[in-house]
Amino acid sequence: MEGVADASMRRLLTNQGGFDLCISEFIRIVDMKLPTRVFYRSCPELHNECKTEAGTPVRIQLLGQEPNWMAENADRAIRLGSHGIDINFGCPSRTVNKNKGGAALLREPESIYQIVKKVRETVPSCQTLSAKMRLGWDCKSRCVEIAQAIEEAGANELTVHARTKEEGYKPPAHWEYIKLIKDSTTLNIIANGEVWNKDDYIRCQEVSGCDDIMIGRGAVTIPNLAQHIKGAPIMPWADVIRLMIDYGGFETLGDKEKYFPQRLKQWFKYISKQYPESEPLFTEIRSIKETQHIVQMLNEVNKNNNSHVLTRTLSVS
């Protein structure tokens, strides 16, 4: 998730447990082999055997339309330590699409085939080559054709976001089309889209026929969603506040401080879907631009939460 699942968020969420693999934010490939610093900046986990602090493997995702340059950069990512390569054919961003990247390529299955084939020729067979796609640009009629092109080009895995580009993120997700793709290929298919809680997870598995599910926005909405799916209770609001404080600590290192206010406000938009308690606090911080002011407010809320717990404990005693 571009602009959401950065290294700090990956660290935060995988520390809650339950994840088998993380995909990095995409690295945009145009017409050159990018310097190593770009890969380390996008995926600092490369310094740790390409694993998060919790030990969750990270796979670097590339986005681009030129097969040779995609292959060159895939080779560099693998040599740096990425756990396989993922190729993005699903991003619906207008900026990305107008430059013939992401979901724009869904209109050209042959171009998708050429990109995957060239990357597969470069990435060793012992490494996983995966792709992510949507069901099409504005209709779903070619979804099987696209998936089969990815398979024939040599990919091992395919994550399917169960909407077209034009459908964006509007509910519902059409999981039944994932089942159609799964029945038409031998790829390991991973279902994605509209999995916000454990019930969604179970229904997605039933409808798509997939054992493996990729959770995106849902993981940001319920920070322990992966563990919740495995039976843990949903994380209480007080613990979410503490996570936000931790996130502030990660994001204010180095030159990232300037991005923290916007990143946190973006996170709040997801959090509010599960935690209505977040709305008053979001209203307060919405107009604040100074990182330290926001962190101070979060610490104050955390302090008050702890005081309430102590008061209740003393009352019971």
Residue 308 DSSP SS3: helix
Can 43 be counted among the known catalytic residues?
Answer: no
- Do residues 87 and 63 touch, judged by C-beta distance below 8 A? yes
Long-range (24+ apart) CB contacts under 8 A made by 24-28 are 24/58, 24/59, 24/60, 24/61, 24/86, 25/1, 25/61, 26/2, 26/61, 26/62, 26/63, 26/88, 26/91, 26/102, 27/60, 27/61, 27/62, 27/63, 27/73, 27/77, 28/63, 28/64, 28/96, 28/101
Catalytic residue among 50, 91, 204, 210: 91
Catalytic residues: 91
